[in-house]
Amino acid sequence: MPIRALLAAVLIAGATHAFAQTPAATPGPLAAEGCLGCHGPAGSGSGPIVALAGHDQAEMIAAMAAFRSNERAGTIMGRVARGYTEAEIAAIAAHFARLPR
C-alpha cells in the first residue's frame, strides 16, 4: 500500500515539526474531558456531584482505586473507574489537582 506509506511518512514528518509548535494553551488530558459532562466544566462540580478541581492528586488516585475494587460504594463510579488505566487516572488526577478549587 504505497499510499498508506505516503500517509505514514506525512504523519511522521508532521510530528517532528510539531514539537516546536506548542499551542498557546495546552488542554488537559482528553481522558479528563469525559469527567466534565457530570462533574461540570473545569471539574467545578454540579449540585450533589462533587467538584474535582483542586482535589489532592493522591487522594483522587486512592478514591478511584477504591471505586475500582468496589471497596468504596458508589452509584456509578465503580463502573467508571474500571474503564481507565492507572496511568490515565494519574494523569486525570494531576490535571484536576492543578485547577483552582
Partner 1 sequence: MANTLSRRALLGAAAFLAAPATLRAQGSTARLLVIGGGFGGASAANFARRAYPWLEVTLVEPKTTFVTCPYGNLVIAGVRQIGDISHNYDGLRARGVRVVHDWATGIDATARTVRLQGGQSLGYDRLILSPGIALRWGALEGYTEAASEVMPHAWVPGDGTQTLLLRRQLEEMPDGGVVGMSIPGNPFRCPPGPYERISMIASYLKRHKPRSKILAFDAKEAFSKQGLFQDAWAALYPGLVEWVPASRDGRIVKVDAAERVLESEFGEKHKVAVANVIPPQSAARIAIEAGLTDASGWVPVSPVTFESRAAPGIHVVGDANIPGPMPKSGYVANSTAKQAVASAAAALRGQAPTPGIYYNTCYSHVGDEYGISVVGIFRPNAEGNAIVEVANSGGVSPRGNWPEQRRLEAHYADAWYGSITRDMFA
Residue numbers at the binding site for partner 1 (CB under 8 A): 3-4, 6-7, 10-15, 17-18, 20-21, 23-25, 27, 30-31, 33-41, 46-49, 75-76, 79-84, 88
- Closest approach, Cβ 97 to partner 1, in A, equals 19
- Closest approach, Cβ 101 to partner 1, in A, equals 17
What CA–CA distances, in Å, run from 61 to 16, 64, 95?
33, 5, 12
- 69: three-class secondary structure by DSSP: coil
- Closest approach, Cβ 23 to partner 1, in A, equals 6
The residue (of 24 and 100) whose beta carbon lies closer to partner 1 is 24
The residue (of 34 and 57) whose beta carbon lies closer to partner 1 is 34
The residue (of 89 and 97) whose beta carbon lies closer to partner 1 is 89
Distance CA 32, CA 52 (A): 10
- Closest approach, Cβ 35 to partner 1, in A, equals 8
Task: Name the percent of the chain in helix, strand, coil, to the closest 5.
Answer: 60, 0, 40
The packing angle between helices 57-68 and 86-98, to 10°, is: 140
